[in-house]
């Protein structure tokens, strides 16, 4: 019983993993002369709307907040953090970084799972001051600042009873999510977040502030839909809005003895439910020596039609929090911060369908790697099963976005997530995630799924994934757009998927 209660805590709200993980330790600050000089140059060049923070001896809280990430393994100690307050200041900063050839980072919500993608030992730019949400009722759009997390956007739009196609759980940044693709609770209805964008405010690598739309800069408009930070720094996104009612759903946690029933219900849901307002997200987790499932249910209306979720609701559960609620409340119900403060890595496979064979393999991988890696302190082994409708990519044309490079088939991203507390285990965890992805790929291919070369989602794929697995045949066009707008490769001084 004590074990069961502990598992409940972990699967639902979960402080246990964090308690097992050692607290993040910052290495003693080493002054890096060249970087400090650039920081001071930036500090005197920007307007009073912007701020520069240094890692003082008492570890300045604003600096620590700026450089922090959801996974501590994605954080590095920068020479300084810069919070630009205007797009013009972003331009000034980029010009200085380019002239001095200085490594830098751009951070939105700081949820990148790959180390170095939004961190640096040089100049860390945190977009936190770009925090406005403006609803434009006449054009059914919302202007959303690049420093926001989705929770803020949903809260700001709720009084107007409208919403955008954004993140599914609490705390995820708008910027990296939207620049990579964006799989949402509303994707079955409207496609990816990049499919519902009408414009960007972009600071080009040469410092010029521009508005990018389909008509003003068609190449950049296409490239920013999946092309991350290759073309400059985005300060604002203009997203299409939809009417939003209350929704139905929430979290159910289920223990080891019921997982075959979860597999069966997931297969049946994915093969029979065609209502685009319905979605499920079962996460197969291995914690405290056994597997369990943390299951999110979603219906985009205050009550679901009869039958759709019955199989899931009939499974005996440990905890259940399913009800009619606001969209924001539903997003807040997910245990996304359970492992905040741990190290972490993501990887992914793209599937075409969730068959009994695939679900059995997912459960087997959960147990296999969960047991094998249980020596690593604070380890949580997790597989997020995302059974979208096969039509998920049909809401926009193949040529409309840099990612996904192909919309010929409805590729379904499965997210592999390992959290842990031990830096010395980094390579072990990375290698396990690669092997597990390879195994799931092999299982899918051997049952006839044509996914051996399927595009992999950049916001889930491990850092050394070849670029053409993310961008496919779009890689050449991305390179030529890049050559046009960033000829001296200033954005190459920042980490991420670099074309
Ligand atoms: C708990 C959790 C839940 C998630 N759920 C989902 C989900 O439901 N659907 C989904 O699609 N993905 C999901 N993801 C993945 C998510 O999309 C990525 O982690 C994404 O990078 C988050 O964006 P961010 O702004 O928080 O990241 P950051 O770490 O801040 O940035 C990520 C990348 O974007 C670049 N970038 C950030 N801001 C800018 C900017 N203003 N201009 C130019 N480049 C910029 C950074 O330099 C970096 O390379 C989830 C991740 C986590 C950790
Ligand atoms: C910029 O710095 C990198 C190392 O960080 C170096 O390889 C490159 O040659 C430098 N470029 C210029 C133009 O100085
Ligand atoms: C799952 O489905 C299989 C195949 O239909 C069946 O044999 C098994 O009894 C089901 N298990 C549960 C727990 O529903
Ligand atoms: C379980 O997974 C491991 C690791 O991928 C694999 O070696 C093993 O054959 C799998 N077992 C079954 C029954 O599929
Ligand atoms: C910056 O780049 C853009 C796009 O290439 C170009 O139109 C603009 O003239 C450039 N600005 C400067 C100051 O060079
Ligand atoms: C309301 C609206 O404009 N919706 C659009 C969201 O994006 C998809 C794909 O671009 C369009 O099909 C919708 O019309």
Residue 16: the pLDDT is 31
Residue 57: the pLDDT is 67
Q: Which tens digit of pLDDT belongs to each residue from 157-180?
A: 999 999 999 999 999 999 999 999
In the numeric block, the tokens 């991988």 are attached to: 365
Residue 335: the pLDDT is 72
Does the Cβ of 182 fall within 6 Å of ligand 1? yes
Pocket test for ligand 4, best of 364, 441, 443 (most atoms within 8 A of CB): 364
Q: Which of 3-17, 70-84, 122-136, 411-425 has the lowest mean pLDDT?
A: 3-17
CA 360 to ligand 4: nearest atom: 14
pTM for the full predicted model: 0.95
Rg over alpha carbons for the chain, rounded to the nearest Å, is: 22
What does the longest C-alpha to C-alpha distance in the chain come to?
A: 66
Contact between 448 and 351 under an 8 Å Cβ cutoff? The reply is no
Pocket test for ligand 5, best of 87, 203, 206 (most atoms within 8 A of CB): 206
Residue 416: the pLDDT is 98
What is the sign of the dihedral through the CA atoms of 449, 385, 273 and 244? negative
Angle at 358 between CA 357 and CA 361, to 5 degrees: 90
Which residues are paired to 323 by β-bridges? 249
Residue 7: the pLDDT is 44
Contact between 297 and 250 under an 8 Å Cβ cutoff? The reply is yes
Pocket test for ligand 3, best of 259, 264, 272 (most atoms within 8 A of CB): 264
Residue 226: the pLDDT is 98
Topology of 33-126 in CATH?
3.30.43
CA 106 to ligand 1: nearest atom: 47
Rounded Cα gap, residues 16 and 339, in angstroms: 9
- Would you give the end-to-end CA distance of the chain in angstroms? 52
Does the Cβ of 404 fall within 6 Å of ligand 1? no
What is the crossing angle of helices 33-45 and 87-99, to 10°? 150
Confidence of residue 334 (pLDDT cuts 50, 70, 90): confident
The reply to whether domains 33-126 and 247-471 share a CATH topology is no
Question: How many Å lie between the centroid of ligand 4 and the Cα of residue 365?
Answer: 7
Q: Which tens digit of pLDDT belongs to each residue from 442-474?
A: 999 999 999 999 999 999 999 999 999 999 999
Residue with the nearest Cα to atom 7 of ligand 6?
Answer: 196
Confidence of residue 395 (pLDDT cuts 50, 70, 90): very high
Question: How many Å lie between the centroid of ligand 2 and the Cα of residue 206?
Answer: 17
Question: How many Å lie between the centroid of ligand 6 and the Cα of residue 238?
Answer: 13
Of 469, 459, 414, 456, nearest to 174 (Cα)? 459
Give the architecture (CATH level 2) of 133-244. 2-Layer Sandwich (3.30)
Say which residues have a Cβ less than 8 Å from residue 186's Cβ, sequence separation at least 6.
Answer: 163, 165, 242, 300
CB atoms within 10 A of CB 353: 17
| pLDDT above 80 for 317 | yes
Three-state secondary structure call for residue 64: helix
Mean pLDDT of 250-258: 97
Does the Cβ of 264 fall within 6 Å of ligand 3? yes
Confidence of residue 338 (pLDDT cuts 50, 70, 90): confident
Mean pLDDT of 66-71: 97
Q: Which tens digit of pLDDT belongs to each residue from 348-393?
A: 999 999 999 999 999 999 999 999 999 998 999 999 999 999 999 9
Residue 20: the pLDDT is 36
Residue 32: the pLDDT is 62
| pLDDT above 80 for 28 | no
Mean pLDDT of 415-427: 97
Mean pLDDT of 311-328: 98
CATH number of 247-471: 3.40.462.20
Q: What residues does each domain of the chain span?
A: 33-126, 133-244, 247-471
Does the Cβ of 364 fall within 6 Å of ligand 4? yes
- Note the Cα 417 to chain centre separation in Å: 12
Residue with the nearest Cα to atom 31 of ligand 1?
Answer: 176
Question: How many Å lie between the centroid of ligand 3 and the Cα of residue 263?
Answer: 9
In the numeric block, the tokens 């940044």 are attached to: 173
Rounded Cα gap, residues 305 and 328, in angstroms: 22
Q: What b/e string do you get for 369-398 counting C-beta neighbours within 10 Å, with b at 16 or more?
A: bbeebeebebbbbbbbbbbbbbebbebbee
Mean pLDDT of 398-416: 97
């Amino acid at each position: 019983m004590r074990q069961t209660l502990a598992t409940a805590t972990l699967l639902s709200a979960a402080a246990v993993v964090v308690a097992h993980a050692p607290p993040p330790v910052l290495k003693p600050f080493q002054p890096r002369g060249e970087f400090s000089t650039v920081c001071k140059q930036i500090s005197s060049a920007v307007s009073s709307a912007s701020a520069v923070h240094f890692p003082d001896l008492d570890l300045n809280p604003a600096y620590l907040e700026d450089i922090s990430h959801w996974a501590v393994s994605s954080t590095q100690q920068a020479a300084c953090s810069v919070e630009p307050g205007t797009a013009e200041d972003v331009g000034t900063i980029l010009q200085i970084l380019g002239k001095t050839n200085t490594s830098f980072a751009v951070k939105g919500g700081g949820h990148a799972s790959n180390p170095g993608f939004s961190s640096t030992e040089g100049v860390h730019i945190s977009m936190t001051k770009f925090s406005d949400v403006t609803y434009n009722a006449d054009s059914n759009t919302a202007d959303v600042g690049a420093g926001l997390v989705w929770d803020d956007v949903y809260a700001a739009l709720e009084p107007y009873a409208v919403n955008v196609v954004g993140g599914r759980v609490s705390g995820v940044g708008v910027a990296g999510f939207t620049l990579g693709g964006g799989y949402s609770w509303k994707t079955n209805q409207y496609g990816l977040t990049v499919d519902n964008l009408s414009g960007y405010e972009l600071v080009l690598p040469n410092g010029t502030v521009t508005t990018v739309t389909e008509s003003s800069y068609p190449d950049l408009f296409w490239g920013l839909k999946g092309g991350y930070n290759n073309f400059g720094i985005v300060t604002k996104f203009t997203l299409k809005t939809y009417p939003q009612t209350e929704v139905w759903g929430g979290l159910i946690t289920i223990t080891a003895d019921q997982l075959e029933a979860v597999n069966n219900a997931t297969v049946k849901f994915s093969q029979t439910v065609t209502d685009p307002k319905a979605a499920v997200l079962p996460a197969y987790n291995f914690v405290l020596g056994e597997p369990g499932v943390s299951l999110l249910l979603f219906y985009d209306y205050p009550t679901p039609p009869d039958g759709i979720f019955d199989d899931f609701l009939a499974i005996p559960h440990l905890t259940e929090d399913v009800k009619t609620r606001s969209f924001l409340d539903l997003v807040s119900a997910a245990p996304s911060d359970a492992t905040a403060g741990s190290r972490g890595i993501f990887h992914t496979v793209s599937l075409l369908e969730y068959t009994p064979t695939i679900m059995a393999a997912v459960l087997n991988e959960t147990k296999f790697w969960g047991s094998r890696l249980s020596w690593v302190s604070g380890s949580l082994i997790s597989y997020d099963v995302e059974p979208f409708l096969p039509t998920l990519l049909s809401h926009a044309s193949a040529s409309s976005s840099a990612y996904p490079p192909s919309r010929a088939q409805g590729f379904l991203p499965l997210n592999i997530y390992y959290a842990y507390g031990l830096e010395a285990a980094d390579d072990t965890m990375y290698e396990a995630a690669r092997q597990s992805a390879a195994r799931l790929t092999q299982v899918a291919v051997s049952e006839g799924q044509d996914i051996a070369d399927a595009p992999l989602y950049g916001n889930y794929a491990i850092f050394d994934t070849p670029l053409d697995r993310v961008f496919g045949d779009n890689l050449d066009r991305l390179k030529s757009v890049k050559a046009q707008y960033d000829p001296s490769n200033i954005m190459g001084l920042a980490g991420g998927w670099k074309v």
